[in-house]
Amino acid sequence: NAGVMQNPRHLVRRRGQEARLRCSPMKGHSHVYWYRQLPEEGLKFMVYLQKENIIDESGMPKERFSAEFPKEGPSILRIQQVVRGDSAAYFCASSLTRVTSGGKYYEQYFGPGTRLTVT
């Protein structure tokens, strides 16, 4: 079973261009999460999506950032008009719903990340 896949692994954009980051979740996983890790900082949650729905976008910057997880195809994190401060590693994670005696839980599996550099 292939893990979470992200592409591209490295992306270079000039200021003002658009960046599109793709995430293919593990097979059977219907939950996708995006996290950002700025240089020398910890991971910060951005957005949580299920198929065709944004569930929680409390960590997303209000402008220029958007995310989608269509019925078919990968999840996309889109950054418009990139600025130098957007340079970071962007990680995607996916999970499925496991039902145990303790209830439902969602174990997240992370992809290798996309390193965005804005010049």
Partner 1 sequence: DAKTTQPPSMDCAEGRAANLPCNHSTISGNEYVYWYRQIHSQGPQYIIHGLKNNETNEMASLIITEDRKSSTLILPHATLRDTAVYYCIVRVLSGSARQLTFGSGTQLTVLP
Estimate to the nearest angstrom the gap between the alpha carbon of 84 and the chain centroid: 19
Residue with smaller CB distance to partner 1, 20 or 29: 29
In 4-52, which residue ranges form alpha helices assigned H by DSSP? Answer: none
Smallest gap from Cβ 81 to partner 1, in A, equals 26
Binding site for partner 1 (CB under 8 A): 4, 31, 33, 35, 42-45, 48, 55-56, 59, 89, 91, 93, 95, 97, 102-113
Q: Quick one: 117 exposed, middle or buried, by C-beta within 10 A (0-12, 13-18, 19+)?
A: middle
C-alpha span between 87 and 115 (Å, rounded): 8
In the complex with partner 1, which residue's Cβ is closer, 5 or 76?
5
Cβ at position 1, least distance to partner 1 in Å: 15
